[in-house]
Every structure is written in structure tokens, then in C-alpha cells.
Amino acid sequence: MSFLFFFYLRLVHLGFSRLILRCSSRLILRGSSRLILCDSSRLIQRGFSHLIQRGFSHLIQRGFSHLIQRGFSHLIQRGFSHLSSVVSHILSSVISHILSSVVSHILSSVVSHILSSVVSHILSSVVSHILSYVVPLVLFYVVPPALSYVVPLFLFYVVPPALSYVVPPVLSYVVPPVLSYVVPSVLSYVVPPVLSCVIHPVLSSVVSHILSYVVPLVLFYVVPPALSYVVPLVLFYVAEAVGPNNSRP
């Protein structure tokens, strides 16, 4: 009986110890896992919130202020200096290229187109109107008083000071640059389209009108007053210029 009682106590002790070990291990595992999960989630939530609130606010306040103060001032100082040099270089090169290419294109293509379209229209419509209405009025009312009053005044008061004061500076300051710069460009860009687009309409329309309207009027109304007023004046001034000492009886 005593042996059975001790055996029974041993079994009870082993059962309780195993039960206590299993229960304590399960409680420890479940409690520690829940504790780790809860604490880690709380730690992550609080840590990230604190990092986002303070860290990003500090970064935004100091970083952007430092960037705006130093970065933009440095960018503006160096950028505008570099931009001014680049813009001056671009303007100097681009404008020279534009002036060299566009002007030649304008003088070669646009001038020829204008001369071919506009000049032909002008010569066909306006010139005929001028030759039929304006030229007779000029020959009737302008040419006779011009030959009788304007030509002597012009010969007395305009020609001598022009020859003495105007012609020398023109010959010294105007003629050389014209001959060196203007004449080659005119001969290369203007004369060919003018010859190709103007000469043919002039020869076809203007010459026919001149021969039919102007030449008879000139022969009837210009030549007689010219022979009666201009030729005696010219002979008189030539005789005075020669002088009585040089004249022979």
C-alpha cells in the first residue's frame, strides 16, 4: 500500500510538472509574441510619426531656406553673367548670318518676283495713263516757262556754286564708298532681275507709247521754243565768255 501511494504521488507530480511546463511555455510564447508585435507596431508608428513630423519639418525649414538663400543667389550671379555672354555671342553670330543670308535671298528672289509682277502691271496700266494725259500737259504748260525763265536762273545761280562747293566733297567722300560697296552689290543682285524683268516690258510698251505720243509733241512744242530762247542765250554767254578782245572783225 505504501508503494502504491508513493507511485501515485510520483505520477501526480510528473503530471503537474508537465502540465505546468506546457502551460508556462505556451503562455510565454503567446505573451512574448503579442508583446513584441504590439511594442514593435507602436514603436514603428511613433518613430515614423516623430521622424516625419520633426525630421521633414527641420529639413524643409533649414534646407529650403539655405537652398533659396545661397543657391539662387549663386545661380543668378553666375547664370546671368554666362547668359549675357552667350546671348551676345548668339546675337553677334546669328545677326551676321541672318544679314548675310537673308539679305542675299531677298535681293535675289524677292526683288526679281516684285519686278516681274509689280513692274509689269505698273508699266501696262500706269505708264499708258501717264503718257496719254500727263505728258501733253507738261509739254504745253511746264516746258515753255521752264525754258524761258528757269534755265537762265539755273545757269546763273545754281551751276557755279554747285561746281565750286558741292562737287569736290561729293567726289572725295561719296563717290569712293559708292564705287566700293554699293556698285558691286547693285551689279550682282539688282541689275540681273532688272534686266530680265524690266527691259522687255519697257521695250514692248513704253517705247511704243513714246514713239506714238511724245515724239510728235516734242517736235511741235519743245523744239521751236528751245531754238528761239535757249540757243540765243547760249550763244550770248559763249560770246561774253570769249570776250571782245578775242573776237576778230
Q: Does residue 21 form part of some domain?
A: no
What does the pLDDT read at residue 171? 81
Residue 112 has pLDDT above 80, yes or no: no
Q: How many distinct structural domains can be found in the chain?
A: 1
Contacts of 196 (CB under 8 A, 6+ apart): 112, 116
pLDDT at 249: 44
Is residue 161 in some structural domain? Answer: yes
Q: Does residue 133 form part of some domain?
A: yes
Cell numbers found for residue 238? 559763249
Q: What is the DSSP letter of 246?
A: T
Whether pTM exceeds 0.75: no
3-state SS class at 198: coil
Residue 224 lies in a domain: yes
User: Can you tell me the distance from the alpha carbon of 137 to that of 148, in angstroms, rounded to the nearest whole number?
Assistant: 17
- Please give the C-alpha separations between residue 249 and each of 23, 198, 222, 235, 244, in angstroms, as whole numbers: 169, 56, 35, 17, 10
- Given a cut of 70, whether residue 13 has pLDDT beyond it is no
**Residues spanned by the domain of 216:** 108-242
In a domain, 171, yes or no: yes
Does residue 158 fall inside a structural domain? Answer: yes
pLDDT digits (tens, 9 = 90+) for 28-74: 767 666 666 666 666 666 766 666 666 666 666 676 666 666 666 66
Residue 92 is predicted with a pLDDT of: 72
Let me know if residue 4 belongs to a domain.
no
> Would you say residue 187 lies in a domain?
yes
Across the range 225-232, mean pLDDT stands at: 81
- What integer is the mean pLDDT of 94-118? 68
Tell me if residue 142 falls in helix, strand or coil. coil
- The answer to whether 144 and 218 are in contact (CB under 8 A) is no
Q: How far apart are the first and last CA of the chain?
A: 201
Higher pLDDT pick, 134 / 245 = 134
Quick check: 221 pLDDT over 80?
A: yes
